[in-house]
Structure 1
Amino acid sequence: MTNSPDPNGPWKCSGNPPGSHPEVENYGDKCLLCPNTRSGKPKPNGGSPGKDKSKLVTPVSILVVAAILGITWLLLKPRQPVEIAGPEPIPTPTTYNPPPPPPSPTVERYSSGEGVLLIGKSNPDRDRGIEAFKAGNYSQAAQEFEKAVLGDRTSPELQIYLNNAKARQAGTPFVLAVVVPIDSNVTSAEEILRGVADAQTQFNDAKGLNNQLLEIAIANDGNDPAIATEVAQKLANDPNILAVIGHNSSDASKAALVEYEKAGIAMVSPTSTSTELSGNSFFRTLPSDAVSGAKLADYAYNTLLLDKVAIFHNPNSSYSKSLEQAFATQFQQLGGQVVKTINIADPNFNAEQEIKAIQNQAQAVILFPNTKTTSTAIGVAVANSNQPATQRLKLLGGDALYTPATLTSGSNAVEGLILAVPWVAETEYAKRAERRWLGGVNWRTAMSFDATQALIKALSSSASRTTVLQNLKNTNLSASETAGEALIFEPTGDRQAYPILVQAVRSSGGPSGSPFAFKPIK
């Protein structure tokens, strides 16, 4: 409360105790809002007799009091809450239905010349050849594909299409199919097709069998067992197809073989080695895992004098699993010990940790990846090379690592790596193929050449699926007719053959940019 120096002037009061109501200016002796008086004390209920000054007000005083009351009412009336600026409110989430994704492009899975499966560089001659082939103008198609091949000497697909156009032009060709993993491994697909193209070209250039030439239908299964089944069903339902070259991976071959067995159609795989593959329709042109695994185990125990090893493999792969089992069985029979078996397909796999864990237990690392885990296996080799020189383990492995990528990616880490492989490029066929394809070829090309050669040998003027299947069982090709070794099938469909041991050494002849090459162990 603030007293006015003028006893009759206005005074201010904020309540008793102070602050109990808004400060208000008073003109009378008593506060308009509380019992306080001008003197600071509540006015007693009684009064002295005589005239009360508060009743002696002028009209102006009445107006002033009325104004004060109005102001007070405004101050005391309930007030609306004041909105204070703050963060933008979070909008209530609403359901968002995104537009459907555009349809995936259709994957081409079959072609004899009607389309492109191996998408490479632009080739107008190829495109014109395809249009002519689809229109049934095989003479024109052959001319266009001839120019296309000259424009892209390394493409086996174009060579096959050229051969096919000539075969149809000659009329009623023999038809074989080849299944390759274009979706998942275009390099392996091309390697296989080169061997097939070589055998087809050789046969057709020699006028075929009584002027009946060979047509090759290319199919793409992407190494996917489910797709392999669909592809096998389609090929089996085409009465023109006499037999199949393929498939690539053991898992894809295992799935497809079921369909070929039902249809009684022969399947000759140039690359599938799993011991799980067998049947009346099944043949292969390379040693099985049983033979390769045993060969590697013998060398490890008897030549390298190793008796404790750790095996890295993918237990979900038919190929990887059968190779691991074959090696382990033979190694243990000889007296060796597998101290640990490691799953390199495990999402939590850590190469550095695994190498350190086995350093004091094993003398060597055995690498049996499948095609999908080869990079992981190379990582194991790198982890091993990062250890002190005295603690590094010897490296051995399966043919899935017999690729240029192993040498270029692994570099110094894979020096000394020993592999059991089906073929080495030291034959007359290797020299011819190198000239044709403008570069070295590998075992997939060689084994595919042999597979096609075996089926060509099984053809006859009245060829049928039954006669081809029966003739395959009696195959007997000399080394001059194959990529380098005589070809005879055992009753199981396995080739009578033994793997070759090679080692990664510093030498010329390896892939571009690498100081290493795989050389046979003499």
Structure 2
Amino acid sequence: MKNQENIRLFISLGLAGLLIAAILWLLGRVVRPEKEYSGQFQPNSASISPSYINSPLKNRMSLGEKVFVREGRPSDKDAGSKAFEAGDFSTAVSKFQVSLQAKRNDPETLVYLNNAKIGKSKSLKVAVVVPIGISLNEAEETLRGVAQAQDEVNSSGGINGLPLQLEVISIDNFDVMKEISVELVKDTSIVAVVGFSRDSSIYNKGGLVMVSTINPKRPSQPTQYVFYATPKFDVFSDAIASYITKKTRLTNIAICSDSTFLVNQEKISQEIVEQYTDSIKKYGGKVTSTACDLSAPDFQPSAFLSQAISDGAEGLILIPRPDKLNLAIDVARENKGRLPLFSYQGVYTERTLKYGQADVKGMVFGVSWHNDVVGNKSFAQKAIGLWGGEVSPRTATAYDALQTIIAGLKQGNTRQELQKALSNPKFSALGATGKIQFSQTGDRKGGVFLVKVEPCNPSQSCNSSTGYRFKLLE
């Protein structure tokens, strides 16, 4: 689906975006394990979050009683939420249905509609952590994936007869991630989580399965309760490095990043650059020593490009902050096609096409999913039917995360049984790109797909209003 404009605070990859992965990886490095919690999961009835959760955290959680996505919402959405909170589920269903008719691409409303249909009936509850207060666009893309998976399973009779209920967890800053994770572990009505957290110890010790929508670079160590719906971070950088050195035959690459990627005073940009540098070297290339900091007060694209070319650069990898995409586009515009351009999944956004136009033509980067990928074609078709347009890799990844949980719950609906199912080497589920399987370290098996920015063909339909598109490379 066409990405909506969003200039709110940064977050990107989300293996969906890579920036998200890097942020959360570093965030996890400062989080410490919590005490182990015990408690057996029981199928729950629709209810507001447990009373033991402190008020600030409770205000971030909703089955339908709170509206987090408020931008452009129809009035019936608020009415449905109030009815849900009052326990008037029939009215909530009616109001949410009307709201969806007015705004069909609102995934939060579809989740609440499905929850309202459950009412107080027994169900299986999964929490979904999304950064609504940080980046609405990315949050809605994630919600579209889980909403579609929930809608499909409930429409087909549920999980062994039990409907699936989703609890939306909205965050507006990363400082609350530790508290959120701890509280989700405490809530024994929750059987699993779709979201993100680099500190797997909270989920491992608490015995709660989390399927992460992003996969940061990290030591490959066996995991118990944390699984990743996308391949490891280095799979993406390796894919680009292999393409650069083997396909385009370039051996000397310049990298331009933004040093203002800071979380807990640590430089995310440095970690990303190191990963790409390692991958380039792994495939026989090298990275120039040309310094490039997009956010430097005295940074001049023309001066950088002149120096990079003087240093022998044959290609350029741009790694901008998504909320400062214009800085990278300035470099691309000044480049005037002299150096082939490459990037990372964080630029997979309508903004790249809208503001980059011909300046980013030919730029190549890796994504976890593309509409033209030969896999589960029914996913893309159903997505268009639900949302009125094509969706993003982030939506596909979130869909895969919840489909993994659904497949596991069909083998056993307790936390322990779910973990056992997903840990089985023979486990598999059908996702947006086909078969989902995990390695012993909990990583998604499989590779990535390369896309290239190209002009739309005037004689063919285009999934972008910008005149440019992300074309899947064969």
Aligning the two structures, in what range does the TM-score lie when normalised by the shorter sequence? 0.7 to 0.9
* 1:396 equivalenced with 2:342 (yes/no): yes
Asked whether the 8 Å contact 1:148–1:158 carries over to 2, the reply is: yes
The share of aligned pairs that are identical, in percent, is: 30
- Separation in structure 1 between the aligned mates of residue 64 and residue 220 of structure 2, nearest angstrom: 31
**Residue 415 of structure 1: CA displacement?**
0.2
- Separation in structure 2 between the aligned mates of residue 510 and residue 325 of structure 1, nearest angstrom: 36
Which residue of structure 2 aligns with residue 266 of structure 1?
209
1:410 counterpart (349, 352, 356): 356
Which residue of structure 2 aligns with residue 458 of structure 1?
408
- Separation in structure 1 between the aligned mates of residue 225 and residue 287 of structure 2, nearest angstrom: 35
- Separation in structure 1 between the aligned mates of residue 78 and residue 163 of structure 2, nearest angstrom: 24
Helix, strand or coil for the counterpart of 2:409? Answer: coil
2:243 counterpart (276, 299, 303): 299
* 1:378 equivalenced with 2:322 (yes/no): no
Asked whether the 8 Å contact 1:195–1:448 carries over to 2, the reply is: yes
Which residue of structure 2 aligns with residue 506 of structure 1?
455
**Residue 147 of structure 1: CA displacement?**
2.1
Mean Cα displacement is larger for which, 333-342 or 277-286? 277-286
- The 5-angstrom pairing of residues 121-160 of structure 1 reads 121-160=72-111
**Residue 139 of structure 1: CA displacement?**
2.8
- The 5-angstrom pairing of residues 248-397 of structure 1 reads 253-254=197-198, 257-275=200-218, 279-314=223-258, 316=261, 321=270, 323-340=272-289, 342-344=292-294, 346=296, 349-361=299-311, 362-385=313-336, 392-397=338-343
Which residue of structure 1 aligns with residue 48 of structure 2?
none
- The structure whose RCO (Cα within 8 Å, separation 6+) is larger is 2
* 1:172 equivalenced with 2:122 (yes/no): yes
Q: What is the one-letter code of the residue matched to 2:234?
A: A
- Separation in structure 2 between the aligned mates of residue 399 and residue 158 of structure 1, nearest angstrom: 28
Which residue of structure 2 aligns with residue 116 of structure 1?
67
Helix, strand or coil for the counterpart of 1:296? Answer: helix
**Tell me, which stretches of 5 or more residues in structure 2 are unaligned?**
1-55
**Residue 323 of structure 1: CA displacement?**
4.5
Mean Cα displacement is larger for which, 455-464 or 315-324? 315-324
Asked whether the 8 Å contact 1:428–1:484 carries over to 2, the reply is: no
- Separation in structure 1 between the aligned mates of residue 228 and residue 183 of structure 2, nearest angstrom: 22
**Residue 232 of structure 1: CA displacement?**
1.8
Shift in CA distance, 375/213, structure 1 to aligned 2, threshold 3 Å = farther
- Separation in structure 2 between the aligned mates of residue 511 and residue 336 of structure 1, nearest angstrom: 35
Which residue of structure 2 aligns with residue 161 of structure 1?
112
Shift in CA distance, 240/349, structure 1 to aligned 2, threshold 3 Å = farther
- Separation in structure 2 between the aligned mates of residue 497 and residue 374 of structure 1, nearest angstrom: 29
- Separation in structure 2 between the aligned mates of residue 307 and residue 106 of structure 1, nearest angstrom: 50
Q: What is the one-letter code of the residue matched to 2:184?
A: L
**Residue 168 of structure 1: CA displacement?**
3.0
**Residue 348 of structure 1: CA displacement?**
5.2
Q: What is the one-letter code of the residue matched to 2:247?
A: T
Q: What is the one-letter code of the residue matched to 2:466?
A: S
Mean Cα displacement is larger for which, 330-339 or 187-196? 330-339
**Tell me, which stretches of 5 or more residues in structure 1 are unaligned?**
1-104, 248-252
Which residue of structure 2 aligns with residue 518 of structure 1?
470
TM-score for the superposition, normalised by structure 2: 0.78
1:216-271 deviation line (CA, Å, top 9, x unaligned) = 1111223x331222322222222211111112xxxxx325x443233222221223
Which residue of structure 2 aligns with residue 234 of structure 1?
183
- Separation in structure 2 between the aligned mates of residue 469 and residue 201 of structure 1, nearest angstrom: 23
Shift in CA distance, 476/370, structure 1 to aligned 2, threshold 3 Å = farther
Shift in CA distance, 339/264, structure 1 to aligned 2, threshold 3 Å = same
Give the root-mean-square deviation of aligned CA atoms: 2.6
Shift in CA distance, 379/175, structure 1 to aligned 2, threshold 3 Å = farther
Asked whether the 8 Å contact 1:273–1:319 carries over to 2, the reply is: no
Rg larger for = 1
- Separation in structure 2 between the aligned mates of residue 349 and residue 184 of structure 1, nearest angstrom: 27
Shift in CA distance, 473/331, structure 1 to aligned 2, threshold 3 Å = same
- Separation in structure 1 between the aligned mates of residue 115 and residue 249 of structure 2, nearest angstrom: 53
TM-score for the superposition, normalised by structure 1: 0.71
Asked whether the 8 Å contact 1:289–1:319 carries over to 2, the reply is: no
- Separation in structure 1 between the aligned mates of residue 456 and residue 268 of structure 2, nearest angstrom: 30
Mean Cα displacement is larger for which, 175-184 or 460-469? 460-469
1:497 counterpart (422, 436, 446): 446
1:378-400 deviation line (CA, Å, top 9, x unaligned) = 33323323xxx5xx211111111
Which residue of structure 1 aligns with residue 422 of structure 2?
472
Asked whether the 8 Å contact 1:272–1:319 carries over to 2, the reply is: no
- Separation in structure 1 between the aligned mates of residue 470 and residue 166 of structure 2, nearest angstrom: 32
Q: What is the one-letter code of the residue matched to 1:178?
A: V
* 1:187 equivalenced with 2:109 (yes/no): no
Shift in CA distance, 377/232, structure 1 to aligned 2, threshold 3 Å = farther
Q: What is the one-letter code of the residue matched to 1:120?
A: E
Mean Cα displacement is larger for which, 458-467 or 310-319? 310-319
Which residue of structure 2 aligns with residue 209 of structure 1?
159
- Separation in structure 2 between the aligned mates of residue 455 and residue 300 of structure 1, nearest angstrom: 36
Asked whether the 8 Å contact 2:390–2:463 carries over to 1, the reply is: no
**Residue 312 of structure 1: CA displacement?**
2.1
Shift in CA distance, 106/275, structure 1 to aligned 2, threshold 3 Å = closer
1:422 counterpart (354, 363, 368): 368
Helix, strand or coil for the counterpart of 1:287? Answer: coil
Asked whether the 8 Å contact 2:122–2:162 carries over to 1, the reply is: yes
Shift in CA distance, 371/472, structure 1 to aligned 2, threshold 3 Å = farther
Helix, strand or coil for the counterpart of 1:254? Answer: coil
- Separation in structure 2 between the aligned mates of residue 319 and residue 288 of structure 1, nearest angstrom: 17
